Chains A and B, each alone.
Chain A
């Protein structure tokens, strides 16, 4: 084991070494960053070119918009994410920079409408609304001649609401829902919601026979969903009570105050 540098000069030497390491490191970082910046600039200009050439399509054609969004996410760019936590500092998203805000705004405006519709219908559906029903309602509130909205747009717009915490797209059975309350469905609850998709309603007997649950379990889950506002009871049946999914009526309706 070498015992070099026991003298006072050793302090100097180690200081020099670490300084050299540091300077070398920073020069490496600089070249690296430069290379990345060039790449990013090239990439950005290409993406910009593409986006500008197809801006009209992106804005007006829902399926094209979906494709473009998919392409962006495939190459690791979240078009909606605000980039203000990076050095660009402007606080605008990639799409906002590329497309002069319109596409970006499109999703944020859509998100605002979604929040409105979810809020207006929460009383009747407990904060769980079918994705396509939501889309229908949102489309209805828009002006005549406005660009059409796809399910994919709704999904993306809901994604932008993620920071709010309670908004999420959930899949139950074969149907997608938008959840606007900070409440997860338990496995049992999800099973009942799924069962209600078939006929629009469930009953204790139906669940018992089809899911093989005992009566108490069926009752508990139904009561839970009722308490959450996700089922409406119908007592005017000839036999046992039926519990209806409000989605059966939520998609249309004439309550204009909720639509506009």
Chain B
């Protein structure tokens, strides 16, 4: 499924949701310097990972561009003039990737599952819900609204009136496709149609 070409420009973290309550460590200057002690560094990565996911969930961010995000308030605390450098951001994201909470998108490659931080992708999916979890939500929605056996377009799923109020309303198309593909693999759905008008049939 080559969906990259039509994907909209990734939204930037500065988008206007009510302000995110940053945790205490965000105001701890040393939090923004890569720690040399291994144990501490691990604790630091864990905290950053939790912060990024909470931030992404709050702003409903499905993907970030590292170079742009490095300037956003997520990684740049202007109040104390401390920032996490792009290499360090990359390291945190790679840490999250190993945990299944992030995925690097290689330029021009829709199947990013095998790429890692070293491959240099600038766009990263953030999985505050993993694709499997999104799949379960979609499946539950289809079940609840008795639409098994019927055909829905991908557009309907993310933008339609019926899904308003569900968690996946307005979600990133590429992440949704990953979730739907999981359902396909399980034999719970079938995807057909061309790029602009993809349809899904649920079983």
Contacts and interface: CB of A to CB of B under 8 A. Distances in A.
A236 interface: yes
Interface in A241-260: 242-244, 246, 248-249, 251-255, 257
B32 A232 contact: no
Number of contact residues on B: which range applies?
20 to 34
B37 A227 contact: yes
A253 B29 CA distance: 14
Interface stretch (B41-49, B141-149, B156-164): B41-49
A37 interface: no
B124 to A, nearest CB: 22
Contacts of B27: 249
Interface residues of A, number: 26
B35 A233 contact: yes
Interface in B1-58: 21, 23-25, 27-33, 35-37, 39-40, 42-44, 46-47, 50, 54
Given A233-B30, A234-B29, A249 B36 contact: no
19 contacts: A122-B39, A126-B37, A126-B39, A232-B33, A232-B44, A233-B36, A234-B29, A234-B30, A234-B32, A234-B33, A234-B82, A244-B30, A246-B28, A248-B28, A253-B23, A253-B47, A254-B24, A254-B54, A255-B47
A236 B29 contact: yes
A123 interface: yes
Contacts of A251: 24
Given A236-B83, A249-B24, A254-B24, A226 B30 contact: no
Contacts of A236: 29, 32-33, 81-83
Contacts of B29: 201, 234, 236-237, 242, 244
Nearest to B85: A236
Given A244-B29, A249-B28, A253-B24, A229 B39 contact: yes
A170 B111 CA distance: 54
B24 A233 contact: no
Nearest to A255: B50
B56 to A, nearest CB: 14
Given A124-B44, A226-B36, A234-B33, 11 more contacts: A123-B39, A233-B33, A234-B82, A236-B83, A242-B30, A251-B24, A253-B23, A253-B24, A253-B47, A254-B23, A255-B46
Nearest to B30: A232
Contacts of A257: 50
A124 B33 contact: no
Contacts of B44: 124, 232
Given A233-B35, A234-B32, A254-B23, A126 B40 contact: yes
A133 to B, nearest CB: 11
B24 A123 contact: no
A255 B39 CA distance: 17
Interface string A115-134: 00000001110100000000
Contacts of B23: 252-255
A235 interface: yes
A201 B30 CA distance: 10
A129 to B, nearest CB: 13
Nearest to A124: B43
Interface string B93-108: 0000000000000000
A207 to B, nearest CB: 17
Contact of B28 (A122, A126, A227, A232): A232
Contacts of B37: 126, 226-227, 229
